[in-house]
A and B are shown apart, each in its own frame.
Chain A
């Protein structure tokens, strides 16, 4: 084999995303990673900016509030809220999987889809609660 003679660096790789047929479990797994890392990088940066703006006083808080209602600001906040609720829902799904439950094919697919829908539903409910009061 050609891979064997080139040494450690050319070890065979397992098939990646494009090989597999898409299913709910695969989608929620990838969404969990994307939303988790998105929250870690963008979410925590935003959290620290918000705290820093409050410590800075009314003027810096006004700047933060003004940036939050611009179009990019709205995209970031709606995106972060969805990422949070999606990661929360699929995180709870992980707790169930961790105890060894929910691995039967149909049940697994059902809870994968429900996790995704729960994330979207809670995001909508969150903004409805803020905007409709």
Chain B
């Protein structure tokens, strides 16, 4: 395998030298997810019950709110990279691929924005 033709590289169709970066960030975010989702699941198990008051009081504390905010960023980032790989594998037409990845990016930013807004609102006393 060569590095693709010049025009192929420009269009991102050949070896664009961005594959390793995607792969590495998938791993970096996976490490973050191991820590943050373990914290999340253990915290849920340690809550005495799941009433509104219990859950609300827990989330509004500074450390849980910070960790939850970090988890939202890390998990959405990891999910966005993973969904991109799935879409690239199953959508073969270049135009459709561009369109769905554009939609994926918008949905990811929207999801992270909503999640962080919720956590910040709760942490600052909604």
> Interface of A with B (CB < 8 Å)?
33, 36-37, 39-41, 44, 47-48, 51-52, 54-55, 57-58, 61-62, 65, 84, 88, 91-92, 94-95, 98, 126, 129-130
Contact = CB atoms under 8 A, between A and B. Distances in A.
Given A44-B111, A61-B52, A126-B41, A39 B122 contact: no
The 9 closest A-B pairs by CB, nearest first: A40-B79, A51-B118, A61-B52, A58-B52, A55-B118, A36-B82, A40-B83, A37-B86, A129-B45
Contact count band on B: 20 to 34
Given A39-B79, A44-B111, A54-B59, A62 B118 contact: no
B37 A55 contact: no
B79 A54 contact: no
B76 interface: yes
A61 B55 contact: yes
Given A61-B56, A126-B45, 13 more contacts: A37-B86, A39-B79, A40-B79, A40-B80, A40-B82, A41-B83, A44-B111, A51-B119, A52-B114, A54-B59, A55-B118, A55-B126, A91-B34
A54 B86 contact: no
B37 A84 contact: yes
A41 B87 CA distance: 13
5 contacts: A41-B83, A44-B75, A47-B75, A88-B34, A95-B30
> For the complex, would chain A's binding face be called helix, strand, loop or mixed by DSSP majority?
helix
Q: What is the predominant secondary structure among interface residues of chain B facing chain A?
A: helix
B121 interface: yes
Contact of B83 (A37, A84, A94, A95): A37
A91 B37 contact: no
Contact of B115 (A51, A61, A130): A51
Interface in B51-83: 52, 55-56, 59, 72, 75-76, 79-80, 82-83
A76 B80 CA distance: 21
Q: Which of B33, B52, B82, B115 has the most CB of A within 10 A?
A: B52
Interface string B106-126: 000001001100110110001
Contact of B27 (A44, A61, A98): A98
B97 to A, nearest CB: 14
Contacts of B121: 55
